[in-house]
Amino acid sequence: MGRSLVVDRIGSLITNDPTLGRGPLGIIEDASLVIVDGLVAAVGPSGAVADERIDADGACVLPGFVDSHTHLVFAGDRSEEFTTRMAGQPYDGGGIRVTTEATRRTDTAELDRLLGLRLAEAHRAGTTTIEIKSGYGLDVDHEVRSLEVAGVHTAETTFLGAHLVPAEYQGRTDDYVDLVCGAMLDAAAPHARWIDAFCEEGAFDVDQSRAVLEAGRAAGLGLRLHGNQLGEGPGVALAVECGCASVDHCTHLSDADVDALAGSDTVATFLPACDFSTRQPYPDARRVIDAGATVAIASNCNPGSSYTTSIQFCIALAVRDMHMTIDEAVQAVTVGGAAALRRSDVGRLTPGSAGHAVVLDAPSHHHLAYRPGVPLIRQTLGPLGTSPLGTSPLGTSPLGTGPRAGSPT
């Protein structure tokens, strides 16, 4: 047996397995969590013994957050755009080109340094598994470079060449889609697990988005889609039709969209911090959950529409404004995020799963919504391996390690 760690005297341990404890979150009170070689070896009553010990002193411990939607490889600043938006200018995604220019101009070492800082911030805020998209390169070399930079830190890399038509292809969207589905995909696929497209008016229409998804599938990538962000549209229906693992945003949903999600394996991933930062209405998650769909919540951290790594902030918004219970919001950022990434090894603290955990500075998970804006993450226990992020006593594998290409969709 390898090195072992016990987190002991846990006031309330969220396992996300109802067979192990109380309620849907499977909560065990006065608990201990034993991690051996980065995996959960046991959960049970306080008092377990191991090589190393953390005294939780009555705090709540829960699975590390699974942030299934970020755009973390970028350079530049768009605070000015945010300021004008708060003064009434609507968000339309056009700023993606501003970030693309800044990202192309930045050398690789600097891009990596910036990404490392953002990942360290996310880890301090409790995220232990993270998806990272390209999408600010928008030509073959820069898209590949973004994926390479991301791939140093996570296995959950997503090729998003179809984020926006770059300036040099203005007025020639179909030519750009051909490039994305051809040479760009050929070069990007070895560095990506997923493919994604921004299916929205002003970005890519339903046929263009379908072409990108189908080309990605043929290249062995798993499928995900940005849809229904700025208005009702074909994104959700397309994602369900193509069997995407997740359709992300889902801010504007018709009844037919909700029915389609409920009858599918496609996870509806909500991005409430994006709705906050773009002054969009918040989606009614209650309607989607009650219909029977699987939901996730992610940060969508990017410089334009949602510049936050705080999953805690997302939980507070989801509970306050999306009509989710606190239990549902906590599930959505743990097992929900894992489902959106088709992962069963993270997002739960059950024997055999990854020993990625968050120790709160609070006795219960309710405080995540009850104390908005207060940093409640006392410690993140996560795998940091090759990543230069933070510290963990038992970190043996990279942040978000998991399968690469060819995921089930």
CB of 233 to ligand NIG, least distance (A): 12
Residue with tokens 């995996």: 39
Q: Which is nearer to ligand NIG, 78 or 356 (CB)?
A: 78
CB of 81 to ligand NIG, least distance (A): 8
Q: What DSSP string describes 57-106? A: TT-EEEEPEEE--B-----S--HHHHHHHHTTPPP-STTHHHHHHHHHHS
**Alpha-carbon span 252 to 283, nearest angstrom:** 7
Cα–Cα distance list, 238 to 62, 200, 206 (Å): 34, 12, 7
What is the CB-side half-sphere exposure of residue 329 using CA atoms within 13 A? 26
Q: Which of 225, 208, 203, 246 is nearest to 342 (CA)?
A: 246
Q: Which structure tokens are listed for 148? A: 């390479």
> Within 10 A of 79 (CB to CB), how many other CB atoms are there?
9
Is the backbone of residue 276 left (phi > 0), alpha (psi -120 to 50) or beta? alpha
Q: Which is nearer to ligand NIG, 198 or 383 (CB)?
A: 198
CB of 303 to ligand NIG, least distance (A): 6
**Alpha-carbon span 322 to 286, nearest angstrom:** 7
Among 137, 161, 283, 304, binds ligand NIG (CB under 6 A): 304
CB of 302 to ligand NIG, least distance (A): 5
Q: Which residue is nearest to ligand NIG (CB)?
A: 304
Compute how many residues bind ligand NIG; rule: CB under 6 A.
15
Q: Does 99 bind ligand NIG (CB under 6 A)?
A: yes
Q: Does 75 bind ligand NIG (CB under 6 A)?
A: no
**Neighbour-count burial for 122-132, b at 16+ CB within 10 Å, e otherwise:** bbbbbbbbbbb
Among 195, 238, 274, 322, binds ligand NIG (CB under 6 A): 274
Q: Which is nearer to ligand NIG, 31 or 247 (CB)?
A: 247
**Alpha-carbon span 100 to 107, nearest angstrom:** 13
CB of 91 to ligand NIG, least distance (A): 7
Q: Does 123 bind ligand NIG (CB under 6 A)?
A: no
Q: Which structure tokens are listed for 289? A: 């959950």
- Tell me which residues in 315-334 interact with ligand NIG (CB under 6 A): none
Among 32, 106, 302, 334, binds ligand NIG (CB under 6 A): 302
- Tell me which residues in 356-385 interact with ligand NIG (CB under 6 A): none
Q: Does 198 bind ligand NIG (CB under 6 A)?
A: yes
Q: Which is nearer to ligand NIG, 69 or 356 (CB)?
A: 69
Q: Does 137 bind ligand NIG (CB under 6 A)?
A: no
Q: Does 68 bind ligand NIG (CB under 6 A)?
A: no
Q: Does 95 bind ligand NIG (CB under 6 A)?
A: yes
CB of 12 to ligand NIG, least distance (A): 34
**Alpha-carbon span 191 to 185, nearest angstrom:** 10
What is the CB-side half-sphere exposure of residue 62 using CA atoms within 13 A? 31
CB of 342 to ligand NIG, least distance (A): 20
User: Which helix or strand (DSSP H or E) is residue 243 part of?
Assistant: none
CB of 69 to ligand NIG, least distance (A): 7
**Alpha-carbon span 194 to 288, nearest angstrom:** 25
Q: Does 40 bind ligand NIG (CB under 6 A)?
A: no
Q: Which is nearer to ligand NIG, 96 or 362 (CB)?
A: 96
Q: Which residues bind ligand NIG (CB under 6 A)?
A: 71, 93, 95-96, 99, 198, 226, 229, 274, 300, 302-306
